[in-house]
Amino acid sequence: EQLASQLNTNLEASVKARTQELYKSQQQLSRILETMAEGVMIVDVNHKMTYANKMAQDFLSIKENEYSLGGYHNLKWQTYKLDGEPLAAEEHPIYLAMQTGRAVYDFEIALQADGKQVVYLSVNAVPIYDEAKKLTGGIGTFVDVTHRRKAIQQKDDFISVASHELKTPITSLKAALQLLDRIKDNPGTHLPKLIEQANRSMTKVSNLIEELLNASKITSGQMHLKAQLFKLTDLIKESLLGANEAFKSKLRVEGDLELTVNGDPNRIEQVIVNFINNSIKYAPDATVVEILLEQKENVAKVTVTDDGPGIHPDKLPHLFERYYRVDDGGAQYSGLGLGLYISAEIIKKHNGEIGAISEFGKGSSFWFTLPMG
């Protein structure tokens, strides 16, 4: 009897220890799941949700007691294919994993949760089996890849824009060459005009290719500077050589005309030309374009201001992003969307700052700073 009592006591202690150990493991697993950066969702064999961790709840806009609201679709959220078509339940990655018995990896879907913007998720899913190898449900983990999806879309848009931008001058060049070929035996008065047209087209192609090469150098870290002391007014004069006379008549250079800086003059000229080209392109009816040169403590500040239509506040934060192109009121502007991005990277490499200020309808100011000479 004493032995039986001792065995019972030992058994109780063992069960208690194992229960505590199991509880501790469950608590640890729960803490891991609740602090994961990925969403975790578990469904039963009927494809009803039985668990969603904190991140999954945030994605789906649900509370902890709302698991039973649905499975792959719900009044609070909807899932879509990448082309915007609704994603049927039988096409959901967790459903596919349960049906096929195989894991599904990096399956991208779009999620529209209650009151939130569309996000893109990469889903991994596996089926769940019990000890008898009977299917009991499925588990999916998902991570927000909206930035990745937007980057892919930007790249696709850029390729489309670049193709169009290159095709236009090449078509013009081809037409000029064909006409030159026709009149080669009797050039007449058309020759100078056709040569000018061909040169303009070649210059545009050359500039586009130069932008692409500069963007590539920046991405690969191959843009190197050849710094030297130079006077900003001298550089501005060189920058304006290609500008038309009508634009030059609007231009005013003000401030400290003796300002000297330390930098790569060729790269800084690119920045100034980009700023000037922006004024020509987006503010063609501006009455005045001012370039202001100032000394601010130990840096030189260059500001290009026009009294054109200005830039919408929503667009200002994106101006220096790669591939970003402004199109106000449906107007189509030429360009690859690389000019201001390249300008920003050049100024950063000089340890300077760059920015834009604009009041919609009242003009814009683009500025940058450089170390003093």
Q: Within the chain, which residues score under 70 in pLDDT? A: 1-8, 10-11, 13-17, 21-33, 67-71, 73, 75, 242-244, 246-249, 326-336, 373
Q: Are 175 and 210 in contact (CB under 8 A)?
A: no
Say how many domains are in the chain.
Answer: 4
CATH number, position 290: 3.30.565.10
Q: Are residues 51 and 140 in the same domain?
A: yes
Choosing from 185, 201, 219, the residue where a domain stops is: 219
What pLDDT is attached to residue 337?
74
Identify the three-state secondary structure at position 243.
Answer: coil
Q: Are residues 186 and 269 in the same domain?
A: no
Q: Which helix (H) or strand (E) holds 178?
A: helix 146-182
What is the full DSSP assignment across 325-342? Answer: ---GGG----S-S-HHHH
What pLDDT is attached to residue 359?
85
Residues 186-206 have pLDDT tens digits of 777 778 888 888 887 888 788
Please, what is the end-to-end C-alpha distance for the chain in angstroms? Answer: 99
Q: Are residues 121 and 47 in the same domain?
A: yes
CATH number, position 108: 3.30.450.20
Alpha helices for 36-92 (secondary structure H): 54-60
Taking the C-alpha atoms of residue 211 and residue 322, their distance in angstroms, rounded to an integer, is: 11
What pLDDT is attached to residue 185?
77
What pLDDT is attached to residue 330?
47
Q: Are residues 75 and 127 in the same domain?
A: yes
Q: Are residues 359 and 240 in the same domain?
A: yes
Q: What is the span of the domain harbouring residue 81?
A: 38-144
Q: Are residues 127 and 11 in the same domain?
A: no
Which residue, 92, 80, 72, 62, is CA-closest to 149?
A: 80
Q: Are residues 74 and 163 in the same domain?
A: no
Q: Are residues 255 and 179 in the same domain?
A: no
Choosing from 93, 118, 144, the residue where a domain stops is: 144
Q: Are residues 325 and 235 in the same domain?
A: yes
Q: Are residues 199 and 247 in the same domain?
A: no
Choosing from 219, 249, 278, the residue where a domain stops is: 219
Instruction: Name the pTM for this structure.
Output: 0.61
How many residues can be counted in the chain? 373
What pLDDT is attached to residue 363?
87
Q: Are residues 50 and 64 in the same domain?
A: yes
What pLDDT is attached to residue 10?
66
Which residue, 279, 299, 282, 281, is CA-closest to 291?
A: 279
